[in-house]
């Protein structure tokens, strides 16, 4: 496809009207062609500017008076019977709601097509195609694979479960920037709630998402075994009842996977995220590293940085504060000492998570403190822990997790 | 499927359907900016926008019993405003001149706004309805039967290119 065709196609692309083939062509082309990528950036910039456009134009005074006198003069008698009283406070509030709706609608519009993922993926350029080959031979060889692949694709397609139903929605919610009126959200669409609306989305065969006020999510993938949303801001609770399939929430620079459990995730204005696990198993992926989060534990992630040290959801404020110092304010050895002295039995997973992040000197005390509550299981040695051996840390983590569960189950 | 007007709006609609004019005026006040803005942008004329706004309120009152919850009340009213704005535009006589244009450019937003307002009629309607208000080609076609979907699309693309150009210069 040449640049001229791409240039025309870009508009459908940002409007999300391109078919799958065109969409892929454009994505591939944009990665390699600076000229068209610039065009794309210009369109993107145009929509940014459009977003900043005043929501409303100030109407001249007196329209309402002009209208009401027109209306009232139609029959004054009837009017005398009216007893309802206007509530200026409520009217004001409704005006604000409407206006905010308009702004958010414009903001969420095309968010998906203009995502930054394209920008990021542009760095890796595909190689140029190789020379001529004997096609008929290759086709024969490939035929069985193609058949298998087709069968797999058919099998895979039936796993798609878009759209998802929205069960309850208080107030106004916006699907893809439009006030909702279908009651469903499809793959690729965004959902936005205002400060007076809430929604519950049913995930087919898996569970549900409760969307709180002022929340923006994008349904990135609706497929059994790989359901995935992006949380832009706000507060969601995920209940995943499916045993085998993960539910993934993408956040800035990291993603959170939940398997048969219940977690709440929030993102505030400064893009700080908080993940709390009510029950079940949760894994946070950041930079190809996995961080495990036990039930009744919480993890803070500041502005897309490395996930913070997990802490127990009932941890005292002083402990939480010290963990923040350690994670983000260079608290260093001092913080490790304070955390160690404050930690209760249920905080041992916090200490375990600190081990790879602390100096070898502190690892000695940490090892000792954890051992006092939960002796290391077989195959976990002091030496390995001193070296912050990943496998051993994980084994120990599993052991403590089981014991903590046992304790809480028998309370 | 019903959509969610807020409870207060729902309450006002109920009273309005029962003939309470005061409640209906409250509804108009809530939607005033919404209606006036779309009319102003489509017509690019403050005086006509005022006329269309009042006309929209009157017609909405006459048709309030036809309103049902399949569509948000604010959108229902806005659709009426769009219909009247478009019919007003097509009835403008040939010697309609842009007498007064109360547009002052003091920021980049107003720069863009002023360029949108000075676009030719059809182009202006299309970009406002599609890119600002989020209507689909099909919905725009319904307002504007003279235009086919393909024409709407190509006009939209040309207009965007024109405005993008203005922004980059």
Burial tier of A243 (Cβ tally within 10 Å: 0-12, 13-18, 19+): exposed
Select from B61, B92, B123 the last residue of a domain: B92
Select from B92, B126, B149 the last residue of a domain: B92
* Amino acid A247: pLDDT: 86
DSSP state of A100: H
* Amino acid A76: pLDDT: 54
pLDDT tens series, chain B, 169 aa: 445 677 888 889 988 888 888 889 999 999 999 899 999 999 988 888 999 999 999 999 989 989 988 889 999 999 999 999 988 888 776 666 655 555 555 566 678 888 898 898 889 999 999 998 889 899 999 888 778 899 999 999 999 999 998 887 6
Residue with tokens 């993934």: A248
Residue A33: inside a domain: yes
Name the residue facing A50 among B1, B131, B153 (closest C-beta): B131
Residue with tokens 């003091």: B106
Which residues of chain A are under the pLDDT cut of 50? Answer: 77, 107-131
Are A197 and A98 a contacting pair, CB within 8 Å?
no
Check whether residue B6 and residue B86 sit in a common domain: yes
* Amino acid A82: pLDDT: 53
Name the residue facing A43 among B30, B50, B164 (closest C-beta): B164
Residue B73: inside a domain: yes
pLDDT per residue as tens digits for the range A76-91: 545 555 555 677 788 8
Q: How far is CA A205 from CA A191, A240, B15, in A?
A: 21, 9, 43
Are A240 and A262 a contacting pair, CB within 8 Å?
yes
- For chain A, the straight-line distance linking the first and the last C-alpha, in angstroms and rounded, comes to 67
Of B78, B68, B66, which Cα lies nearest the Cα of B28?
B78
Check whether residue A319 and residue A233 sit in a common domain: no
Q: Which residues contact A268 (CB under 8 A, 6 or more apart)?
A: A233
Q: What is the domain extent for residue B34? A: 1-92
* Peptide linkage before B35 cis (omega within 30 of 0): no
Integer Cα distance of A190 and B147 in angstroms: 30
Residue A407: inside a domain: yes
Q: How far is CA A16 from CA A23, A31, A62, A111, in A?
A: 9, 18, 42, 10
Integer Cα distance of A221 and A207 in angstroms: 15
Check whether residue B62 and residue B135 sit in a common domain: no
Q: Which CATH number fits the domain that encloses residue A221?
A: 2.60.120.1440
Residue B98: inside a domain: no
Number of compact structural domains in chain A: 3
Q: A60 and B57: CB-CB below 8 Å?
A: no
- For chain B, the straight-line distance linking the first and the last C-alpha, in angstroms and rounded, comes to 47
Check whether residue A302 and residue A353 sit in a common domain: no
To the nearest whole Å, the CA of A44 is away from the closest chain B CA by: 10
Q: A169 phi and psi, to 5 degrees?
A: -140, 110
Residue A66: inside a domain: no
Q: Which CATH number fits the domain that encloses residue B60?
A: 1.10.1740.10
To the nearest whole Å, the CA of B109 is away from the closest chain A CA by: 5
Number of compact structural domains in chain B: 2
Q: A339 phi and psi, to 5 degrees?
A: -65, -45
Integer Cα distance of B130 and B16 in angstroms: 31
User: A288: how many CB neighbours lie within 10 A of its CB?
Assistant: 5
pLDDT per residue as tens digits for the range A176-220: 877 775 688 888 888 888 888 888 888 887 788 988 888 889 898
Name the residue facing B33 among A45, A70, A99 (closest C-beta): A99
Q: Is A112 within 8 Å of chain B by CB? A: no
Q: What is the domain extent for residue A24? A: 1-55+92-125
Integer Cα distance of B115 and A53 in angstroms: 12
Check: pTM over 0.95? Answer yes or no. Answer: no
Q: B160 and A11: CB-CB below 8 Å?
A: yes
The residue of chain A with its CA nearest to that of B156 is A11
Q: B4 and A79: CB-CB below 8 Å?
A: no
């Amino acid at each position: 496809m040449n640049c001229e065709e791409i240039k025309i196609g870009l508009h459908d692309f940002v409007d999300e009207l391109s078919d799958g083939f065109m969409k892929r062509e454009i994505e591939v082309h944009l990665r390699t062609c600076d000229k068209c990528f610039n065009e794309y950036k210009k369109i993107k910039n145009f929509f940014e500017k459009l977003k900043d456009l005043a929501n409303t134009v100030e109407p001249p005074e007196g329209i309402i008076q002009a209208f009401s006198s027109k209306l009232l003069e139609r029959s004054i008698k009837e009017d005398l019977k009216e007893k309802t009283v206007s509530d200026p406070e409520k009217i004001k509030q409704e005006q604000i709601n409407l206006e905010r709706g308009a702004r958010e609608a414009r903001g969420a519009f095309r968010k998906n097509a203009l995502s930054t993922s394209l920008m990021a993926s542009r760095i890796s350029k595909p190689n140029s195609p190789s020379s001529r080959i004997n096609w008929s031979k290759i086709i024969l060889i490939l035929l069985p694979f193609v058949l298998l692949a087709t069968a797999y694709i058919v099998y895979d397609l039936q796993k798609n479960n878009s759209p998802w139903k929205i069960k309850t929605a208080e107030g106004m919610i916006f699907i893809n920037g439009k006030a909702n009126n279908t009651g469903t959200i499809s793959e690729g669409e965004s959902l936005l709630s205002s400060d007076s609306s809430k929604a519950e989305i049913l995930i087919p065969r898996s569970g549900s998402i409760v969307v709180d006020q002022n929340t923006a999510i994008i349904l990135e993938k609706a497929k059994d075994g790989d359901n995935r949303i992006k949380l832009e801001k706000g507060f969601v609770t995920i209940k995943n009842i499916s045993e085998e399939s993960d539910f993934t929430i993408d956040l800035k620079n990291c993603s959170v996977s939940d398997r048969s459990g219940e977690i709440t995730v929030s993102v505030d204005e400064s893009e700080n995220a908080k993940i709390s696990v009510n029950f079940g198993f949760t894994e946070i992926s950041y930079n190809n590293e996995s961080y495990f989060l036990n039930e009744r534990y919480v993890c803070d992630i500041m502005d897309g940085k490395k996930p913070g040290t997990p802490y127990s959801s009932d941890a005292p404020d002083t402990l939480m504060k010290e963990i923040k110092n350690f994670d983000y304010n260079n608290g260093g050895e001092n913080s490790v000492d304070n955390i160690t002295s404050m930690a209760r039995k249920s905080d041992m997973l916090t200490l375990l998570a600190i081990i790879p992040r602390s100096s070898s000197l502190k690892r000695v005390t940490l090892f000792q403190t954890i051992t006092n509550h939960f002796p290391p299981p077989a195959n976990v040695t002091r030496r390995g822990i001193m070296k912050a051996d990943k496998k051993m840390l994980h084994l120990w983590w599993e052991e403590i997790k089981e014991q903590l569960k046992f304790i809480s189950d028998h309370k | 499927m019903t959509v969610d007007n807020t409870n207060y709006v729902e309450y006002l609609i109920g009273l309005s359907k029962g003939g309470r004019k005061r409640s209906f005026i409250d509804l108009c006040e809530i939607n005033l900016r919404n209606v006036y803005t779309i009319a102003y942008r489509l017509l690019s004329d403050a005086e006509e926008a005022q006329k269309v706004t009042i006309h929209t309120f009157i017609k909405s009152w006459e048709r309030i019993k036809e309103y049902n919850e399949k569509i948000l009340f604010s959108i229902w009213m806005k659709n009426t405003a769009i219909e009247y704005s478009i019919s007003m535009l097509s009835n403008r006589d040939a010697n309609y001149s842009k007498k007064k244009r109360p547009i002052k450019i003091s920021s980049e937003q107003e720069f863009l706004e002023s360029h949108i307002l000075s676009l030719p009629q059809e182009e202006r309607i299309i970009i406002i309805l599609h890119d600002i208000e989020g209507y689909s080609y099909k919905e725009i076609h319904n307002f504007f039967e003279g235009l086919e979907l393909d024409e709407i699309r190509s006009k939209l693309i040309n207009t965007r290119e024109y405005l993008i150009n203005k922004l980059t210069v």
